[in-house]
Amino acid sequence: MSASSSPLPEFAPSLEMDQADTTSLDQSTDWNQKSSSQPRKLTQIETDKLSRDNVLVSEFKQNKLELEAKKNWDLFYKRNSTNFFKDRHWISREFAELVDAPHQNKDSPGRNLVLLEVGCGVGNLVFPLMKANPSLYVYACDFSPRAVQYLKDNRDYSSDRLTAFQCDLTSDDLTSVIPAQTIDLVTMVFVLSAIHPDNMTYAVRNIHSALKVGGIVLFRDYGVNDHAMLRFSKGHKLADCFYVRQDGTRAFFFSLEFLGSIFTEAGFEVISNEYVFRETVNKKEGICVPRVFVQAKFIKNG
């Protein structure tokens, strides 16, 4: 059986399904990846499906989802503990700055580079990265108090190199924990998509205040026309490119234009901003799944 495009079943994907092709390049039988400045072209079937999905979740339910966002993520980690996400070793392949950075900050000799990871979860990115680059000092925050506690309970957690704390980027001030303008690098990996679009600019400004001049945000998240976006059934659409999963967590799918506008409005300049197309092929099952991500770098200039 030859590989073919995966069908578009009518249901709401869970986070497990969204992440199946994002957490590890090794989970699939085969894959290839390329970048582009243009969105993935949809088939006629896909276009028709999106055009039919024009009824939004009620305002009452949307408000409830916003109010219960922290609870829904905390319940996610209660169900899955530390066993859900794969360690994100791929991050150093996509962003060489994280491992190729000098051992000391060139602007402040004797001071190690400082990383902020927002949406740290239970540490699937931060712990492998700290091993790959022993010079990093890391601040790590997450919306879920339970996730932060799991991270602190990890045997590799050391307060000498890592400070973990709970934070809602849309309301809490990062500089209440982190001294203003002291962060060299920020990782935002599948984080901003979980935030309501109306609150994204505030969240990015919050990060801007913690970054030093010349600091860089390394970004990867879901892109518009991703396979996960097309699997949502009717009744799960919150707004254009914004959907709710069956567990109450939400997912936004970015265009390059929208992502760039969020960061420039928050005071950043764009270094790079592109779609990443990853075609995951499972030869055994005979299916081909087109994943779309956005990958970008943004800098805080003076």
Mean pLDDT, residues 145-160: 91
Q: What pLDDT was estimated at residue 25?
A: 35
- In terms of Cα–Cα distance, which of 81, 240, 107, 288 is closest to 182? 107
What residues does 137 pair with on adjacent strands? 114
127-131, 199-203, 228-232, 281-285: least confidently modelled range = 281-285
Q: Give the angle subtended at the CA of 248 by the CAs of 218 and 282, to the nearest 5°.
A: 65
Pairing of strands 269-282, 30-36: antiparallel
Give start and end residues of each alpha helix (H) in the chain.
15-19, 44-52, 59-67, 69-80, 91-94, 97-100, 126-132, 145-153, 200-210, 227-230, 256-265
Q: What pLDDT was estimated at residue 261?
A: 98
Gap between the Cα atoms of 255 and 195, Å rounded: 15
Residue 274 in this model has a pLDDT that exceeds 70: yes
- In terms of Cα–Cα distance, which of 193, 133, 196, 125 is closest to 164? 125
Contact 126, 139 (CB under 8 A): no
Mean pLDDT, residues 177-201: 96
Q: What pLDDT was estimated at residue 26?
A: 35
Q: Give the angle subtended at the CA of 248 by the CAs of 16 and 172, to the nearest 5°.
A: 105
Q: What pLDDT was estimated at residue 8?
A: 42
Pairing of strands 30-36, 4-5: unpaired
Phi, psi (degrees; rounded to nearest 5) at 39: -70, 160
Mean pLDDT, residues 49-75: 92
Highest mean pLDDT among 23-37, 212-226, 278-292: 212-226
What residues does 239 pair with on adjacent strands? 242
> Which residues, in sequence order, are CB contacts of 261 under 8 Å at separation 6+?
none
22-26, 45-49, 69-73, 230-234: least confidently modelled range = 22-26
Mean of the per-residue pLDDT values for the chain? Answer: 84
E runs forming strands in the chain:
4-5, 30-36, 114-118, 137-142, 162-166, 183-189, 211-222, 237-239, 242-244, 250-252, 269-282, 287-299
Confidence of residue 17 (pLDDT cuts 50, 70, 90): very low
Mean pLDDT, residues 111-132: 89
R_g of the chain, CA atoms, integer Å: 19
Q: First CA to last CA across the chain, in angstroms? A: 57
Reading the block at residue 87, the tokens are 């360690």
SS3 state of residue 247: coil
Confidence of residue 83 (pLDDT cuts 50, 70, 90): low
Gap between the Cα atoms of 129 and 87, Å rounded: 10
Residue 22 in this model has a pLDDT that exceeds 50: no
Q: What pLDDT was estimated at residue 13?
A: 52
Mean pLDDT, residues 190-204: 96
- In terms of Cα–Cα distance, which of 216, 222, 195, 200 is closest to 276? 222
